[in-house]
Structure 1
């Protein structure tokens, strides 16, 4: 189990910086950007969350398999495919939290900062980001749990190769498949505790929000 756990942690740590940056940019775009861009991006992200992971994985498998110069084929069924699966599965969650964080900031704050002579980049980094920080931190935490817990997408494009692409959820599946229920339950407990921690963080944030805005 240790090898699968370490691979899951490594995959999450590698994918999360990209998840955070892309999710931050898309969340800001969805909250402030033009409608002709925001609407199709929003629909695409919603589809990514609604579609069964096996279906999404099949589309990724097809796209990577037909990529030029064989780049996609080299990526498939490798550690990098695990990272890609984690990124795709976690991104919609980060975007949701990022969008909610920016949507909750009144436009009047931006306008006041601009009137005081602040540049747009200063308004973003010195006004919007500090206010949005709590939800962004929670978003990346929830996205990390989702990345670490992905099963269907990882199985479809990376396979279930012990020591190479077998993450913790795939380890649970493999143990249950051979009726090693003790091993399956032990690995499941790790994922359960991670999920519980994220739920408690969300509950705490909501509690603090209610105290500030009774």
Structure 2
């Protein structure tokens, strides 16, 4: 878990932290497409119906590491951090499902982070524990798994919600987690098309956002 802890720390450090002089240009959220897929990491999932997302700014410079799907519509969207899973939006306590992924670099066994297990759900094809944290009114539930992209990778699906929404949002989280899978993509190179990833092809019409 050491490598993943490093990835998580880097993700936290790269979250938007804008000064007044660097205030983002605000814009409205979009209705999310029905299917999400990353051609870089060979992973896909079905997006909950009527969910929204905050588009990355046109001048964004960063790296594909996932997305945020909102179960409550943001009032407005702003900038983004270096990982695509880091989006700026208001208000900041909305119910949402985050998918974060990155390559897995095995640095040997390390003590696992404490997990307050509250459920077990299907994620990336296997039953896995759901860990919960509570802070004030916010409830965070997380499920983690390693999978094979073009190289070993790890994915983390996170539900952020509140007590009055927990039961219904957990059903959505469980249904969404069950659709997350690895998928094959075709990379176009100088010598033609090269297949990468594992499993069935990524769904037609799916895209990264």
The answer, yes or no, to whether TM exceeds 0.5 is no
Question: Whose radius of gyration is greater, 1 or 2?
Answer: 1
Structure with more helix by fraction: 1
TM-score normalized by the length of structure 1: 0.29
Structure with more strand by fraction: 2
TM-score normalized by the length of structure 2: 0.29
* Greater RCO structure (CA 8 Å; 6+ sep): 1
